[in-house]
Structure 1
């Protein structure tokens, strides 16, 4: 089976969260994928547990703010790269990288102190890609920049 080559960073779309493209670090050292989320609030919809949360999707900027809602798939302990454990909400959502589209889990966590607002771990990558750590944006293109006329 031929797998596509993916770079160490890619532009990813999460259409169900309406974020547009977000720059993500591809991290084979991480088991799970994570996105920068804060003001996480649990609520019930149709007898299911949901969360609403806020995201700053743009790297190096808190200017753009996006409110999101998603059904909770799990609430579990995640161990970060420093060995610290924290309980995190897990949602399942559609990932789009270039022309590829698939469902994957995403943990909600405040990543404001980290360089990338999103990290894609090996569970989402498994069976889909070969990672080339010397390359970037193998499958994706940056978002289109819109300019407004005044």
Structure 2
């Protein structure tokens, strides 16, 4: 029943603590199955015999000076169709996401979203069964803190 679920607005502030991202604006997209994270470059490499990627993000729309460089183990590569019907082969990583006080692992594809308003799309698999989405509300799980999106930055 929905009375036991937490409410999300159509947009929320998230964090990806293992990637060093303390805050990033996301569109909650029930039309997307998988979540995706902006990555303006993605470089595959190998670590201890496993596939990894390093990638860079611009956590704030319109600000290409602020950069966060991340590394994560590759979980998969998948063909993803965007809302315009274009298919793209993307790297998939799994990393914890923090929404308000909740922390949960989520699969995320990496793609360049520099021209998009939101750096993250939180899809159905990231929303899971613990949330219900109220499309008339925004930032239900917390407002943006006035600081850098990068861990340790001022």
Please give the TM-score of this superposition, normalised by the length of structure 2.
0.91
The alpha carbon displacement at 1:63 in A equals: 1.8
Report the Cα distance in structure 1 between the residues aligned to 2:77 and 2:46, rounded to whole angstroms: 15
Structure 1's unaligned 5+ residue stretches are none
CA RMSD between the two structures: 1.3
Q: C-alpha offsets along residues 84-114 of structure 1, whole Å, 9 cap, x if unaligned?
A: 1100000000000010000000000001111
Q: How does 1:1-150 map to 2 (within 5 A)?
A: 1=1, 2-145=4-147
Report the Cα distance in structure 2 between the residues aligned to 1:38 and 1:113, rounded to whole angstroms: 10
The alpha carbon displacement at 1:33 in A equals: 0.5
Structure 2's unaligned 5+ residue stretches are 149-153
Please give the TM-score of this superposition, normalised by the length of structure 1.
0.93
Number of paired residues? 147
The alpha carbon displacement at 1:145 in A equals: 3.2
Matched position secondary structure for 1:124: helix
Report the Cα distance in structure 1 between the residues aligned to 2:143 and 2:67, rounded to whole angstroms: 22
